[in-house]
A and B are shown apart, each in its own frame.
Chain A
Amino acid sequence: MKQDITIQIKDREGKVHTVLAPTDMAMNLMEVVRSYELAPEGTIGICGGMAMCASCQCYVLNDTILPEMQDDEEAMLSEAFYVKDNSRLSCQLHITSELDGLQVELAPES
């Protein structure tokens, strides 16, 4: 059984990383970014993944179908900076097989 999916992540310096993410460890995309250390510790996932700080904001670059935004994510994004139409909080994107091939870019630190 295939358990890892592939995700392409452009870091804040513009470097693109193609990484494997496990689907069976209840991880979210923010945690994947941290586990590969693609953004310095303390600059991403500050609230731990509660959709309460927007430090893990990312832009979705392709048409991978994502779970719908919940109220708390939408509310947090409405207070965040550098928000675009394709912004999501990566802590709210749980790693499932549906996310295979997803391409994202990390939003600037704010």
Chain B
Amino acid sequence: MIKTDILIIGAGPTGLFAVFEAGLLKLKCHLIDALPQAGGQCSEIYPKKPIYDIPGFPEILAGDLTNNLLEQCKQFKPGFTLGERAETIEKQDDGSFIVTTNKGTQHQAPIVAIAGGLGSFEPRKPLINTIASFEDKGVEYFIKDPEVYRNKRVVISGGGDSALDWSIFLSNVASKVTLIHRRNEFRGALDSVEKVQELKNNGKIKLITPAEVVGLVGDDHLKAVVVSQSQHIPIEFEIETDHFIPLFGLSPKLGPIANWGLEIEKNAIVVNNALDYQTNIPGIFAIGDVNTYPGKLKLILCGFHEATLMCQAAYQIINPGKKYVLKYTTVSGVDGFDGTRKEAPKQIVKSID
């Protein structure tokens, strides 16, 4: 059982900044995220795109913002449960909550802050009607452990960065890599496209375009995929394979959180914006894009503000009656849980002769 003060669901910008604000109040945080890395949408959808409305940053790449937030909060040693989706929540007799992920990891905290953005990212599955029966029997939507594919035959479909990057990587691991895409053009970083071209020329990757996987063959386990190639005359043929990895991106779904008894409106969690962004369940807060209230704006800068107020309320719940006044980091410095201290240099007091 992982125990912490504030359990944050969602490791996007709002969740990461909450770690910093909580740390200033000596509260420890642990974050759960369905994605394998921190940053939320900023890392998953648009890491290389600039953002222009982060206060103090005229322009910053979404990926750099994530790295900065991780750097800013690192002295407060947040814990991470990544690649797992928060599934259930149970209130305990002592008022705390136990949150269990889809992989069974349990977390206990007196405060739960949902910073889940648009929800957890789920893979977009191709429209092949038998695909569900082959899931984990040769069909995988994520590559968790590349070693699974050692000396196996792999078919990847998709035309974006992840399809390109995994084709490149697995060309050194798998016995055969086939990349299938609906067009001849790929949408990815230039060096990835060029690398795939080179591997294709060397016979390390078999490229089939413009084509699409339209069917799956096998009994207990996948044996082959049916490919439809649209040349002058469309043809259909089978490719024997051990694995089929469709990489068509991810789409966010509110998911299990919708069943936690929280008041939901327009796919978002209703909170008290006049006070502390608490939900209808005391002790559970919702901050950032996942919440809604009159006048709500889904902006990162609004998430930062909401995270800050949430932490103050969390402090009051965890330390009832304990006195505290807001301090400025410039005045009091930042004392990390790792023993580090950041502080403003002392003013120089020196006489002039």
Contact A81/B124 with A40-B266, A41-B267, A50-B46 known, Cβ cut-off 8 Å? yes
* B118 contacts the other chain (CB 8 A): yes
- The segment from A9-17, A70-78, A92-100 found at the interface with B is A70-78
State in angstroms the CA–CA spacing of A47 and B185 once bound together: 22
- B119 to A, closest residue via Cβ: A42
* A36 contacts the other chain (CB 8 A): no
Chain B contacts for A50, CB-based, 8 A: 45-46, 49
A46 x B252 contact (CB < 8 A): yes
Q: Chain A 67-110, CB within 8 Å of chain B: the 1/0 string?
A: 00001101110111110000000000000000000000000001
State in angstroms the CA–CA spacing of A59 and B181 once bound together: 22
* B159 contacts the other chain (CB 8 A): yes
A41 x B266 contact (CB < 8 A): yes
Interface size class of A (residues with CB under 8 A): 20 to 34
State in angstroms the CA–CA spacing of A72 and B20 once bound together: 37
Q: How far does the Cβ of A74 sit from chain B's closest Cβ, in whole Å?
A: 8
* A52 contacts the other chain (CB 8 A): yes
Chain A contacts for B41, CB-based, 8 A: 47
Chain B contacts for A40, CB-based, 8 A: 266-267
In the complex, 16 of the A-B residue pairs with CB atoms within 8 angstroms, ordered by the A residue number, are: A42-B267, A43-B267, A46-B251, A47-B41, A47-B46, A75-B159, A75-B183, A75-B187, A76-B187, A78-B185, A79-B160, A79-B187, A80-B248, A81-B126, A81-B248, A110-B124
Chain A residues within CB distance 8 Å of chain B = 37, 40-43, 46-47, 50, 52-53, 55, 71-72, 74-76, 78-82, 110
